[in-house]
Amino acid sequence: MSRFDLSEKAAIVTGANTGIGQAIAVGLAEAGASIVAVGRSPMDETEALCRRHGTGFLAVHADLRTIEPIERIMRSTEERFGRVDILVNNAGIIRRADALDFTEADWDAVIDVNLKSAFFLAQAAGRRMIDSGRGGKIVNVASLLSFQGGIRVASYTASKSGLAGLTRLLANEWAAKGVNVNAIAPGYIVSNNTAALIADPKRSAEILARIPAGRWGEPQDIGGAAVFLASPAADFVHGVILPVDGGWLAR
């Protein structure tokens, strides 16, 4: 059996309706996992792409601006697939404004989705993984701004830096209990969150000039890293923040 085989595994992927989340869900399905796709909008396209690989699929409508849906997400997964093996915390939002003008509302909105809900999802999944005795894999989607400051995205930078710290903390607490907690730090990926940057010719050109690979990333570029971190091939990988950035941080 391949060390990357995820057959018989059930994977929860938040923000799976488009972009990076959709690409991760499809990648995990291609490796054999059944997918629980969580998001606020319809999952029809994600479901069609995942089902091409013959795996189970469940869409769960949930708004992660609060932690209210978390137990429902876990129960729905267990009722359909009998287990929770993999959690990918991908759901995230961004707000842009100069730090001098940043509002409390934009601060709270981003922190609630990107950091607070991610932690409590990991807590709920971790409990089940540990209690079952099977362990599991938790993959957080961090950012280059887990390493750098960025500009005009105060709450996003704070949330992604915090998520990197939580990844390490949970790895410290849960590694010996059979739960691997790691993160992916995508570089500049074509997605809804980067649409404003792509639409700005000056900023887009500046970004592209610094990427050694010579292109913006595509959501599918993140899928392979997610499969690796969710698979038995990564059983001895704990607390890593893995950049998938075309070489941006090496520049």
- Using one digit for the tens of pLDDT, what is the confidence trace for 135-155? 999 999 999 999 999 999 999
The verdict on residue 54 lying in a domain is yes
The verdict on residue 198 lying in a domain is no
The verdict on residue 251 lying in a domain is no
Query: Which parts of the chain have pLDDT scores under 50?
Result: none
Task: Report the pLDDT value the prediction gives residue 9, as an integer from 0 to 100.
Answer: 98
The verdict on residue 4 lying in a domain is no
**Structure-block tokens of residue 208:** 């592209």
Structure pTM? Answer: 0.96
**Structure-block tokens of residue 67:** 């932690």
The verdict on residue 46 lying in a domain is yes
Q: Which residues are catalytic?
A: 156
The verdict on residue 151 lying in a domain is yes
Q: Which amino acid is at 152?
A: R
Question: What is the domain-level CATH number for residue 114?
Answer: 3.40.50.720
The verdict on residue 61 lying in a domain is yes
- Using one digit for the tens of pLDDT, what is the confidence trace for 77-101? 999 999 999 999 999 999 999 999 9
Count of domains in the chain? Answer: 1
Task: Report the pLDDT value the prediction gives residue 186, as an integer from 0 to 100.
Answer: 97
Using alpha carbons only, what angle is made at residue 215 by residues 212 and 218, rounded to the nearest 5 degrees? 120
Provide the 10 A C-beta neighbour count for residue 145: 19
Check if the beta carbon of residue 193 is closer than 8 Å to that of residue 94. Answer: yes
Task: Report the pLDDT value the prediction gives residue 1, as an integer from 0 to 100.
Answer: 67
The verdict on residue 55 lying in a domain is yes
Q: Which of 218, 132, 234, 250 is nearest to 183 (CA)?
A: 234
Q: Domain limits at 171?
A: 10-190+218-242
